[in-house]
Amino acid sequence: MNLKFRVSPMSAPTGPDAGIRDLLARWTDAPAMFADASPEDVSSPRARFAVQMADAGGPPPRPPEVRDAGGVPVRLHRPASATSDALVVFLHGGGWVLGGGDVYDAAAAGLADDVGAVVAAVDYPLAPEHPFPAPLEGAQAAIRALLADPPAGTDPARCALVGDSAGANLAAVAALALRDEGRPPAAMLLVYPPPDFEGRYPSVTENAEGYWLTASDVKACSKLYLAGHDPRGDVRLSPLRAPSLAGLPPTIVATAGFDPLRDAGHAFADALAAAGVDARRREHPALVHGFYGFRAAVPAADTAVRALHAELAGLLGR
């Protein structure tokens, strides 16, 4: 396929939500995320990302149970009140480089409580120590192991894949593989996904600076993840360019107005719909990339995430 996606920017508010502005103002003096990174050492960006996620997301309500699935650590979050036997597999963001360990515990626990189901958060290997395709292969190994040996009280036939940012990319690619194996997930929630390593999108330039994730961050993460691999023609990197998206489950695609990845997310939602998938495009014009983890600090982000989780619970038939 030789697809060229150039998406016109959506009309947006004059600036981000007030809560977003206040949060970003707290981080004004922090160095750029990858200011002191190298292909050999990303310890400073990882520490900086973890601090900011803790600041914006707050502490998790309870610790997860850590187990192995397919040779990959998985953090099991059980809801405060179980209302569903669905199995929700969560793949965290962080550009395939950041966000491992306990960084996303608050977000995953919030997902479990909102949906009323067990969430298995996959702690897949990260670049640059483990570049492409290791993060994807780790995520897929864990998902397959969870389906074969599901956590107690869950029904693997009612499995949802949820991911934000890089995790949404991994979730979409994993869903295509499961579809080809004849066992697609029951639903997906993809929050500001990067589905295309080849396209050129206006929002990357329009939102290049000032909204937490920068165009430079996108480039740095992609370079560390690829480690010299040519992404052209590789649907394991660009699910938008798969020969067919037909047969994927009902999918919620959430985007943020002030996000370099906004237009790529729109393109993916539109491509899913064109393939006959039940694609629900959910735009949040006044929010920024990362809002999925900003619930404790930004009321508008909490409202948006609650609505996304309620819609996912509806797709799973809670």
Written as six digits, the tokens of 113 are 């409580």
- Out of 259, 266, 284, 309, pick the active-site residue: 259
Q: Which residues contact 315 (CB under 8 A, 6 or more apart)?
A: 160, 186, 187, 249, 250, 252
Residue 31 is classified by DSSP as: P
What is the rounded CA–CA span in Å between residue 29 and residue 48? Answer: 12
Which residues lie across from 189 on neighbouring strands?
Answer: 162, 252
304 in Cβ contact with 259 (< 8 Å): no
Q: What are phi and psi of 118, to 5 degrees?
A: -70, 135
Quick check: is 289 catalytic? yes
Pairing of strands 72-77, 118-122: antiparallel
Written as six digits, the tokens of 218 are 């996108």
Quick check: is 165 catalytic? yes
Strands (E), 250-309: 251-258, 279-288
Residue 287 CA: distances (Å) to CA of 56, 193, 296: 14, 15, 14
Name residue 29's amino acid.
D
Q: Is 157 helix (H, G, I), strand (E, B) or coil?
A: strand
- Out of 165, 203, 222, 238, pick the active-site residue: 165
Question: Within 13 Å of residue 72, how many CA atoms lie on the same side as its CB?
Answer: 26
Name residue 294's amino acid.
F
Number of Cβ within a 10 Å radius of residue 31 = 11
What residues are labeled active site? 165, 259, 289
